[in-house]
Amino acid sequence: MRHSTLALLTVVTAAGVSYGYAGSPADAPLATALNRTVSVTLPDSHNVFPPGEGADIANSQCMICHSAGMVTRQPPLSYDEWKLEINKMRSAYGAPLPENQVDSLAKYLTAIAGKPQGK
């Protein structure tokens, strides 16, 4: 009987739509699609801070717990806001940055990711 060689594959998508595929499971396009390996290479630019005066502080102190991207992808902050943010890292999360480096780092972060002058 020919029908015995056919299998019915039913897939329910995230949207709740279900549709059937009648054919041999080996030929099912969905089964092939679900069995893919995807490889992703992340850009290196997020692994270090951009060059500038104070970049050495950021590179040594601000990637202990998270990536540079966590810092550089924030909306632009003012110098005072950066100081608050840096001090929050120190007091709330225990960042070991010495207090006498807070100003230099805030200047650096304002220069690379700060609000445009006058705002």
Residues within the interface to ligand HEC (CB under 6 A) = 61-62, 64-66, 70-71, 74, 85-86, 88-89, 93-95, 97
Encoded amino acid at 59, one letter: N
Helix (H, G, I), strand (E, B) or coil at 13: coil
Minimum distance of ligand HEC from residue 41's CB (angstroms): 24
Nearest residue (CB) to ligand HEC, 30 versus 64: 64
Nearest residue (CB) to ligand HEC, 61 versus 110: 61
Nearest residue (CB) to ligand HEC, 55 versus 89: 89
For 111, the token pair is: 């220069």
Minimum distance of ligand HEC from residue 88's CB (angstroms): 6
User: Is the sign of the CA dihedral 112, 70, 45, 94 positive or negative?
Assistant: positive
Minimum distance of ligand HEC from residue 81's CB (angstroms): 10
Tell me the backbone φ, ψ of residue 13, rounded to 5 degrees.
-80, 170
What is the phi-psi region of residue 109: left when phi exceeds 0, alpha when psi lies from -120 to 50, beta otherwise?
alpha
Minimum distance of ligand HEC from residue 52's CB (angstroms): 14
